[in-house]
Amino acid sequence: MASSSFSSSSMLAFVLFLLVLLVGSSSAHLSTNFYYKTCPKLFTTVKSVVHSAVAKEKRMGASLLRLHFHDCFVNGCDGSILLDDTSSFTGEKTARPNVGSIRGFNVIDDIKSKVEAACPGVVSCADIVAIAARDSTVILGGPSWDVKLGRRDSKTASLSAANSGVIPPPTSTLSNLINRFQAKGLSAKDMVVLSGSHTIGQARCVVFRSRIYNETNIDASFAKTRQGRCPIKVGSGDNNLAPLDLQTPTFFDNHYYINLVNKKGLLHSDQVLFNGGSTDSLVEKYSKNLHAFDSDFASAMIKMGDISPLTGSNGEIRKNCRKPN
């Protein structure tokens, strides 16, 4: 009798343990319908703001996509990149990969204020960044995907983490790119396909000057064209912009890979993807198959959005994306 009561109580404890596990794991997972009941107008609200911002300036679409990438690669997709510096901490905005180039904060602010008006205190800034990245891609002609949601916002940010090299610089070697992405649970294939986001957007002369003057694996006429707006002298024209994709700079397509095959990658870290190394075959594939690129890009963006989110009772839902509550 005693043993049966012991076993039944053990069974109850085991069932309770399983329930705790299930609840714990489900809160740590994102889902595409997270705000289905709590903020039904979320997607239409975000899309309308992104649409008007990109209509005003096509480059903003690329900036919003990049914002998501730079957020996720530093301590996970937690909205930490949005935090302004305060007297108690220095955020990520002035980190080397971000300073002078990361942008789109005003658009995120605009989205947040409209989302707050529709459903106050419900939607995180981290999730808004993720949705804005998807909408930007679609508006510029790229693929769509179902954005997984349920991230919460960090209460702090880390300049040192953003400066630690987790975001690969434009001078990266192929092995550094592969290693940096693998450290975030992303494969070499994910890295090559996510690099395809450089089919849109622009880069500053200071980050491609060395490539157009010193490297040999570059089309001569392409280098000459880029040199026209990027003088060899350091400090001269540093902030002059050039499109990452010369062919269709404001349209999301596979011309980025066609450019690489033709030795017209603007950044060193672009051309290393097609330079006699392990990723050449993938670049060739995407240069010839837009559908494969679109499909793989959508999958890789979902995977990137899964990097170390704060969920459950971790973090918070910021009222203002620029500061903790």
Tell whether residue 115 is among the known ligand binding residues. no
Tell whether residue 71 is among the known ligand binding residues. yes
Q: Over 90: is that where the pLDDT of 8 sits?
A: no
pLDDT band at 100 (very low <50, low <70, confident <90, very high): confident
pLDDT band at 89 (very low <50, low <70, confident <90, very high): confident
Residue 15: name the closest of 7, 27, 25 by CA. Answer: 7
Q: Over 90: is that where the pLDDT of 28 sits?
A: no
What is the distance between the alpha carbons of residues 91 and 156, in angstroms, rounded to a whole number? Answer: 8
Tell whether residue 253 is among the known ligand binding residues. yes
**Percent of all residues in the chain with a pLDDT value above 90, rounded to a whole number:** 89
Q: Which domain holds residue 215?
A: 174-305
Residues 46 and 156 in one domain: yes
Average pLDDT on 48-67 reads 97
Q: Over 50: is that where the pLDDT of 15 sits?
A: no
Under 8 Å between Cβ of 122 and 38: yes
Average pLDDT on 260-264 reads 98
Q: What is 105-122 written as a DSSP string? A: HHHHHHHHHHHHHHSTTT
The type of residue at 183 is A
Give the residue from 138, 167, 196 where a domain finishes. 167
Q: Over 80: is that where the pLDDT of 16 sits?
A: no
Q: Is residue 33 part of a domain?
A: no
Residues 184 and 120 in one domain: no
Residues 127 and 192 in one domain: no
CATH number for 157: 1.10.520.10
Residues 301 and 178 in one domain: yes
Q: Over 70: is that where the pLDDT of 230 sits?
A: yes
Tell whether residue 315 is among the known ligand binding residues. no
Q: Is residue 69 part of a domain?
A: yes
Q: What number of H helices and E strands is found in the chain? A: 14, 2
Q: Is residue 66 part of a domain?
A: yes
Q: What is 245-300 written as a DSSP string? A: SSSSTTS-SSHHHHHHHTT--SSHHHHTTSSSSTTHHHHHHHHH-HHHHHHHHHHH
Q: Which residue has the higher pLDDT, 10 or 43?
A: 43
Tell whether residue 79 is among the known ligand binding residues. no
Say how many domains are in the chain: 2
For residue 269, count other CB atoms closer than 10 A to its CB.
Answer: 22
26, 28, 39, 41 from 31: Cα distances, Å:
9, 10, 14, 17
Average pLDDT on 75-101 reads 94
Q: Which residue has the higher pLDDT, 36 or 12?
A: 36
Catalytic residue annotation = 70
Tell whether residue 74 is among the known ligand binding residues. yes
Q: Is residue 5 part of a domain?
A: no
Residues 192 and 263 in one domain: yes
Residues 123 and 54 in one domain: yes
Q: Is residue 20 part of a domain?
A: no
* Distance, first Cα to last Cα, the chain: 56
Q: Taking the model in full, what pTM does it have?
A: 0.90
Q: Please, what is the angle between helix 290-305 and helix 125-139, to 10°? A: 170
**Percent of all residues in the chain with a pLDDT value above 70, rounded to a whole number:** 91
What is the distance between the alpha carbons of residues 207 and 239, in angstroms, rounded to a whole number? Answer: 9
Average pLDDT, the chain: 92
Q: Is residue 28 part of a domain?
A: no
